[in-house]
Structure 1
Amino acid sequence: MKIQFNTDKYVEGNERSEAYFASELETTLARFEDKITRIEVHFGDENGEKFSLKDKKCLIEVRPAKLQSIVVTDHAESIEKAFRGALVKIKKAVETTFEKQKAH
């Protein structure tokens, strides 16, 4: 399972935070790792240099083998909070997708 991080020009990415976020994703989605080929995480600041509440965005896209991509987004005051919100959403979405697949 490959994990790729992308940031816009207003969000600074570094290896330490990427390692932490990757670890959290791997732990949360560990039971599905054989079914997931790639995960892309996009961080952004929707208002750029202007201040606004909940303007930080985290989009997580999970690409399961032989299925459509699963995409969730969360907005918060910080990148970390946006990531946490998106992580909860993607876990639920992935679980639901694979449970439906198992039922058929």
Structure 2
Amino acid sequence: MQININTDKTIERHQGLDDHVETVVQAAVSRFRDHITRVEVHLSDENSQKSADGGNRCMLEARVTGYQPIAVTEHSINLHQAISGAADKLKRAVDSALGRLHDKHMHKSPTIADVTDVTDEINEKSS
């Protein structure tokens, strides 16, 4: 799973920030690593817009195999809180999406071939 980190011009990007983001994102979605090809991280400081939820924003977008990209956003006064909050939201969103995919495959309608196989098994047992 690849993690790409992007910042706007107001966020000072450094190795410590990159390491923190990668650690938090990996911890949140590591159990889905076989299904996620890439996570895009977008960090920004929106203080100029005076957001009521806080000026720091973290948007995470996960590319999940067999599913549309899943994006979540978290605003917070503290950048680290925004990252953690977004990672928690992403974990729940991916879990929900993959659960729906699993349920869809498990509860598919039987095909004619499936019915024929079951009928053949019944006939063999009754013979």
Calculate the TM-score normalised by the size of structure 2. Answer: 0.75
Distance in 1 between residues matched to 2:35 and 2:62, nearest whole Å: 10
Higher relative contact order (CA 8 A, sep 6+): 1
Q: Which runs of 5+ in 1 are unaligned?
A: none
Residue 79, structure 1, aligned to residue 79, structure 2? yes
Structure 1 residues 36-92: Cα deviation after superposition (integer angstroms, max 9, x where no partner): 0000100001134x8766011000000011211000001010111111111111111
Distance in 1 between residues matched to 2:50 and 2:15, nearest whole Å: 26
Distance in 1 between residues matched to 2:82 and 2:88, nearest whole Å: 10
- What is the number of residues matched between the two proteins? 103
Change (3 A) 1:34 1:56: same
- Superposed CA RMSD in Å reads 1.5
Select the structure that is richer in helix. 2
CA contact (8 A) 2:24 2:84 kept: no
Structure 1 residues 2-34: Cα deviation after superposition (integer angstroms, max 9, x where no partner): 000000000111112211210221122111101
Which residue in the other structure is 1:70 paired with? Answer: 70
Seq. identity, %: 34
